[in-house]
Structure 1
Amino acid sequence: MTKAKVLISGASVAGPALAFFLNRDGYEVSVVERAPEPRDSGYAVDFRGEAFDVLEELGVLAEMRGHDTKMRGTTLLDDKGVETGRLPAEAFAGELEVPKQELTRALHRITADDVTYVFDDSISALTQHGSGIAVEFERGAAREFDLVIGADGVYSKVRQLAFGPHTGTLRHLGLSGVGFSTPDHLGLERSGLLQQGPGAALYLFGSGAPNRLTVSFSFATVSPALDRRSRDEQENAVRTAFSGFGGEAPRLLEAMSEADDFYFSSACQIHLDHWSRGRIALVGDAGYCAAPTSGMGTSQALIGARSLARNLASAAGDHMAAFAAYEEELRPYVTRNQAAGRQAATMFGGHADLAGS
């Protein structure tokens, strides 16, 4: 019997997790990733609730527990750097927090022998027909698949091709920010600082790499337009937003310009009436991003991947029925996470009116 061929776009978390489950269930799985190699970047990710069951099913739960950052809590400061309170570790770290690269490395390792990975390439066209999907790539030769799954993030190429422009599905939460790392001159190992002022917040913590400080500047914006701007423009926007901050902010603004892992993004959610069209479906941030402020992105990606695979396995080849069941099962969970993401955006400088739109 010929195995059904599935192409997954995206090799971060949702994509490799889905690849593991689909391969286990007898599919021939390929993963295409625009990065030149397995992703080994990102800061800490946390797991909550049912995500632990997924990690156990993937066979990596014990390994992830071994990478626990063991965060001890976060000190709250005003915009001048004066302490105003303290938050427990669970406020940001969830039930278990690990450096993201440890999760992505594990997911790639457990799938590399059985799944075909194609790096440094991306889907350029999708044409559905009666018996499958013709897929064209930016670099590689065109191929035929039975199903295509978009697991390629907020700016998903699969979603853009199958559902239309990003502007029709992306909801900005009034918040943008930059992340980077720098030497830990404060000795913040396993603890954090959250400095809040009008329309802006600075969060820094020591975890992951020894003697390194992870820094996040977040500030109110009216659109995600800065995501597409140059680094100089992004840095200037950050400096303007934090020009009145005292404490460690001035020193960290200088460190920002020297960072070689500078990353800028806006807090956005993805809202779609349906997560599939024909033989194409979406999983994780590509289909229903709840925004980093929700604290549920990684858990949601893992749970979504397992739900999609489980429903495909039980539908006996009826992908339409499987996609419908997957959405019915997962949408209430996603709706709760997105509501939490909108609410939490205000803590980091987002506008309450935009966050609730």
Structure 2
Amino acid sequence: MTKTRVLISGASVAGPALAYFLHRDGYDVTVVERAPELRDSGYAVDFRGEAFAVLEEMGILAEVREHDTKMRGAVLVDERGVETGRLPAEVFAGELEVPKRELTRILHRITADGVTYLFDDSISALTQHESGVTVEFERSAVREFDLVFGADGVYSTVRRLAFGPHAGKLRHLGLSGAGFSTANYLGLDRSGLLQSTMGAAIYLFALDAAERLTVSLSFATGSPELDRCDRDEQEKAVRAAFAGHGWEAPRLLQAMSEADDFYFSSTCQVHLDRWSCGRIALVGDAGYCAAPTSGMGTSQALIGAWTLARDLASAGGDHTTAFAAYEAELRPYVAENQAKGQQTATMFGGGANAE
């Protein structure tokens, strides 16, 4: 019997998780990833609620727990660095927190033997027909698949090709920010520091005393336009937002220019009327990002992949029935998480705007 051929775009969390379950259920799975190799970047990720059941079913919960950061919470400080309060670890770290690179490595390891990975490549065109989807790649030869899944983030290529331009699908929550690392000159050890005013926030943390200091500089913005700018323009915007700020701001702005792991992103949610289009469906941030301010991105990605695979199995491979069940089951959960993301963004001076 010929296996159902599926293509998943994105090798972060939702993609490999979906690949694991579909391969287990007998599908012929290929994952395409734009990065030239497994990504080794990103903040720590946390897990909440039913995500633990997903990790358990994948047989990796115990291994993931071995990488627990054991963060002890964050100290709130004013612009002079004087302590004004404390936040418990659960606010940032959920019920369990691990470095994202470790989760990505584990997910890749448990799928690599049975799943085909195409790194340093991306989808350039999707053409649906009665029996499948013709997929054109930037580098690889044209191939036919029965189903295609977009697990490729907020600016999903699959979503753009199958559902149309990003405009109107992204809801900017009024915050953007830069992230990078620098020397742990403050000697933080499994702890964080947060200095926040309306419209700007500095969050610093280190997973242990030997780790580099991870820096997040976020500020109020009217749109996610800076995401599409070059680094010079992004740094310029960060400097303008933090001009005149005290505490560690001047030193951190200097360190930003010297960082070799600088990245910039805006806090956005993805809102769609539907998460599937024929034989193509979206999972994780590509379809329903709740924004980092929700604290639910990783859990939602895992649960979304698990639910989608389970509904495909229940429907006997009938993708139309499965996609409808997946969406009906998951939408209330996503709506709750997106409300949390909006609420937290508002606390930091953001405000929702549709792009």
TM-score computed with the length of structure 1 as normaliser: 0.97
Query: 1:198 deviation in Å?
Result: 3.0
Q: What is the deviation of 1:209?
A: 8.4
| Counterpart residue number, 1:36 | 36
In structure 2, what is the equivalent of residue 119 of structure 1? 119
Distance 1:150 1:169 in 2: 15
Corresponding residue of 1:71: 71
Kindly indicate whether the alpha-carbon contact (under 8 Å) linking 1:201 and 1:349 is maintained by their aligned counterparts in 2. no
**1:209-264, CA deviations, whole angstroms, 9 ceiling, x for partnerless residues?**
83311100000000000001111111111111111211111111111111111010
Structure-2 residue corresponding to 1:319: 319
Evaluate the alpha carbon distance shift between residue 165 and residue 243 of structure 1 in structure 2; reply closer, same or farther with a 3 A threshold.
same
Aligned identity (percent) is 78
Which runs of structure 2 are paired with 1:182-331 in the superposition (5 Å)? 182-207=182-207, 210-331=210-331
Could you list the structure 1 runs, at least 4 aligned residues long, displaced by more than 4 angstroms after superposition.
Answer: none
Alpha-carbon distance in 2 for matches of 1:13, 1:209: 28
The SS at the match of 1:70 is coil
> Which letter maps to 2:206?
G
Partner AA of 1:247 in structure 2: W
Q: Any stretches of 5+ residues in structure 1 without a counterpart? A: none
1:15-164 equivalent positions in 2, closer than 5 A: 15-164=15-164
Q: Secondary structure at the match of 2:167?
A: helix
CA offset digits 1:1-26 (Å, max 9, x no partner): 10000000000000000000000000
- In the alignment, the residues of structure 1 paired with residue 338 and residue 141 of structure 2 have an alpha-carbon distance, to the nearest angstrom, of 38
Distance 2:254 2:346 in 1: 26
Aligned to 1:174: 174
Contiguous gaps of at least 5 residues in structure 2: none
Provide the C-alpha distance between the structure 2 equivalents of 1:210 and 1:349, rounded to a whole number of angstroms.
33
Q: Is the 8 A contact 2:222 2:353 kept in 1?
A: no
State the Cα RMSD in Å: 1.3
> CA–CA distance in 2 between the matches of 1:319 and 1:138?
27
CA contact under 8 A between 2:46 and 2:96: conserved in structure 1?
Answer: yes
Q: Distance in 2 between matches of 1:20 and 1:4?
A: 14
Moved more, 192-201 or 280-289: 192-201
Report how many aligned residue pairs link the two structures: 355
> Aligned partners of 2:21 and 2:79: how far apart in 1?
47
What SS class does the counterpart of residue 168 from structure 1 fall into?
Answer: coil
Report Cα offsets for 1:169-228 as digits up to 9, x if no partner: 111000000111111111111110110123100000111683311100000000000001
**Counterpart code for 1:157:** T
Distance 1:336 1:157 in 2: 26
Q: AA paired with 2:199?
A: G
The reply on whether 1:350 has 2:329 as its aligned counterpart is no
Show CA shifts across 1:105-132 (max 9, x none). 0000000000000011100111110100
